[in-house]
């Protein structure tokens, strides 16, 4: 029986993963080792009972008593805290879903890779903050990383059986988010509710706002660079409002492979779950006759400065990815809390990058966890100071 663990089980990706596991037979077909969540204890406990998990872990110590109550008498072990989540990643599992949101997903994913597991990686922040470390760890231990971001899963699928040297261009698409056709002036006044209302994908709150600001696409450009080791000049993004073509790969002979599918994360998760085979995945089938039109346009880098900032990070590499992500997480917290306006998020990230660029230490490769953690916490401190100044 195949064993699995889901980190971030109670989130949007976690729920989709749970749904697929359940449709494949749930506890009859899989041995569930660890399920982790944050504050949604009721849901974490329900999932743990249904999948008969070995251990359920909440990220928050103060949630431990309620998790303990919810799972009393079930025989399921309960734990809490970031170190308990990291330890859960040491438990043997054949397939591990990394779907915690933000930089908190880095350590558990890294621990799973050290043990040579197959890691289905939704947590793009891991590659953005510590791409060099992640890829080297996987190589040393013989672990497999399967990208779960729909665009990267699409590129991965298009590259299967291909020689990376024959790749001329990788284009990841972007829906353009809810503000695609808004003016700069209107975006400046965007509310939280407007930023969360994604036109084509159903996702968690934070990634939905990142899609509206195109910080999500910025993270994905960096993720493409780190995962596929492709020169930034060969990586591009196109706005494609229908979200049907997830990525395009152009080859030296002029051919272009496009990966298409309905906008449903269960496709990319299902691909990773069945890999290296193709199994049945219960997503809606594509009907191009019905869709009729697929359109593409270049993104507006003035309206969405996150894309320009990502280009700088992709060319500088080093610890700038960790700085970029941490500053973005702080700026996003403040936007959600209603303390800053929508465009200030990009301004805060840019200012943080400018302030650290004077320090040569940030040019060091993101090869050691300590360096990544230090860059992350320093960037959070600087970004917080910038918010206060503003």
For position 246 contacting ligand NDP by CB under 6 A, the verdict is no
Q: Is 11 in the site for ligand NDP (CB under 6 A)?
A: yes
The residue range among 93-101, 183-191, 312-320, 343-351 that interacts with ligand NDP, by the rule CB under 6 A, is 93-101
Residues paired with residue 145 on neighbouring β-strands, in sequence order = 119
Q: Is 59 in the site for ligand NDP (CB under 6 A)?
A: yes
Neighbour-count burial of 147, counting CB atoms closer than 10 A to its CB (0-12 exposed, 13-18 middle, 19+ buried): buried
- Does residue 248 touch ligand NDP according to CB under 6 A? no
Selected from 33, 51, 101, 222, the binder of ligand NDP by CB under 6 A is: 101
Would you count residue 79 as binding ligand NDP (CB under 6 A)? Answer: no
Q: Decide if 382 contacts 341 (C-beta within 8 A).
A: no
Strands 245-251 and 256-260: antiparallel
| Secondary structure (3-state) at 55 | strand
Query: How far apart are CB 377 and ligand NDP at their closest, in Å?
Result: 14
Does the footprint of ligand NDP cover residue 112 (CB under 6 A)? Answer: no
Phi, psi of 30 (to 5 degrees): -130, 145
Of the residues 180, 206, 246, 303, which one makes contact with ligand NDP according to CB under 6 A: 206
The single residue among 4, 5, 13, 250 that binds ligand NDP, judged by CB under 6 A, is 13
Residue 104 within binding range of ligand NDP, rule CB under 6 A:
yes
Least distance between ligand NDP and beta carbon 43 (Å): 7
Burial of residue 322 (number of CB atoms within 10 Å: 0-12, 13-18, 19+): buried
| Ranges assigned E (strand) in the chain | 2-7, 30-37, 55-58, 77-80, 95-98, 118-121, 144-147, 167-174, 235-239, 245-251, 256-260
Q: Does 84 bind ligand NDP (CB under 6 A)?
A: no
* CB neighbours of residue 246 within 10 Å: 24
The residue from 171, 207, 307, 372 that contacts ligand NDP (CB under 6 A) is 207
| H-only helix segments in 160-303 | 184-188, 192-196, 205-213, 215-228, 265-274, 288-291
Of these, 24, 32, 123, 213, which contacts ligand NDP (CB under 6 A)? 123
Give the residues across from 181 on adjacent strands: none
The kind and range of the H/E element at 349 are helix 344-357
Binding mask 260-289 for ligand NDP (x = CB under 6 A): -----x------------------------
Among 3, 31, 52, 201, binds ligand NDP (CB under 6 A): 201
Contact of 168 with 234, CB cutoff 8 Å: yes
Residues 26-45 within binding reach of ligand NDP (CB under 6 A): 37-40
Q: Build a one-symbol-per-residue string for 320-359: x at contacts with ligand NDP by CB under 6 A, - elsewhere.
A: ----------------------------------------
Q: How far is CA 57 from CA 39, 50, 64, 98, 117, in A?
A: 10, 15, 8, 14, 19
**Residues 36, 41, 42: CA angle, nearest 5 degrees:** 120
309 near ligand NDP (CB under 6 A) = no
How many whole angstroms separate alpha carbon 194 and alpha carbon 212?
Answer: 9
Considering the rule CB under 6 A, would residue 124 count as an interface residue with ligand NDP? yes
Which residue, 205 or 357, has its beta carbon nearer to ligand NDP? 205
Please give the Cα distance from 191 to 213 (Å, whole number): 12
Using the minimum distance from each CB to ligand NDP, give the nearer residue, 106 or 346: 106
Q: Which residue is nearest to ligand NDP (CB)?
A: 11
In the complex, what is the shortest distance from the CB of residue 160 to ligand NDP, in angstroms, rounded to a whole number? Answer: 20
Q: Is 155 in the site for ligand NDP (CB under 6 A)?
A: no
| Contacts with ligand NDP, residue ranges (CB under 6 A) | 8-14, 37-40, 59, 85, 99-101, 104-105, 122-125, 149, 201, 203-204, 206-207, 265
């Amino acid at each position: 029986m195949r064993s699995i663990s889901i980190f971030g089980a109670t989130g949007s990706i976690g729920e989709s993963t749970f749904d697929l596991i359940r449709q494949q037979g749930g506890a009859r077909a899989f041995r569930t080792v660890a399920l982790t969540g944050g504050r949604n204890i009721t849901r974490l406990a329900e999932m743990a009972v249904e999948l008969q998990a070995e251990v359920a872990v909440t990220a928050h110590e103060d949630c431990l008593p309620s998790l303990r109550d919810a799972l009393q008498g079930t025989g399921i072990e309960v734990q809490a805290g970031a170190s308990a989540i990291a330890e859960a990643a040491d438990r043997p599992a054949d397939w591990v879903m990394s779907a915690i949101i933000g930089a908190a997903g880095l350590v558990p994913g890294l621990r799973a890779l050290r043990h040579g597991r197959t890691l289905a990686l939704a947590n793009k922040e891991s590659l953005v903050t510590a791409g060099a470390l992640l890829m080297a760890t996987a190589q040393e231990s013989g672990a497999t990383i399967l990208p779960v971001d729909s665009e990267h899963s699409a590129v991965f699928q298009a590259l299967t059986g291909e020689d990376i040297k024959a790749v001329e261009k990788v284009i990841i698409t972007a829906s353009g988010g809810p503000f695609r056709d808004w003016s700069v002036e209107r975006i400046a006044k965007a509310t939280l509710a407007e930023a969360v209302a994604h036109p084509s994908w159903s996702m968690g709150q934070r990634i939905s706002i990142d899609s509206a600001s195109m910080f999500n696409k910025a993270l994905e450009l960096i993720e493409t660079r780190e995962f596929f080791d492709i020169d930034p000049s060969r990586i591009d993004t196109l706005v494609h409002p229908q979200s049907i073509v997830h990525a395009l790969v152009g080859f030296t002979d002029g051919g272009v492979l496009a990966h298409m599918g309905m906008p449903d994360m269960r496709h990319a998760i299902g691909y990773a779950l069945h890999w290296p085979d193709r199994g049945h995945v219960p997503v809606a089938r594509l009907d191009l006759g019905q869709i009729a039109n697929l359109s593409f346009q270049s993104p507006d880098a003035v309206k969405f400065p996150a894309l320009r900032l990502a280009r700088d990070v992709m060319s500088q590499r080093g610890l700038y990815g960790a700085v970029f992500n941490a500053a973005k997480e702080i700026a996003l917290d403040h936007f959600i809390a209603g303390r800053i306006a929508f465009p200030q998020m990009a301004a805060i990230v840019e200012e943080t990058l400018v302030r650290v660029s004077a320090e040569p230490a940030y040019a060091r490769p993101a090869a050691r966890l300590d360096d990544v953690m230090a860059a992350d916490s320093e960037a959070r401190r600087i970004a917080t100071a910038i918010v206060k100044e503003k």
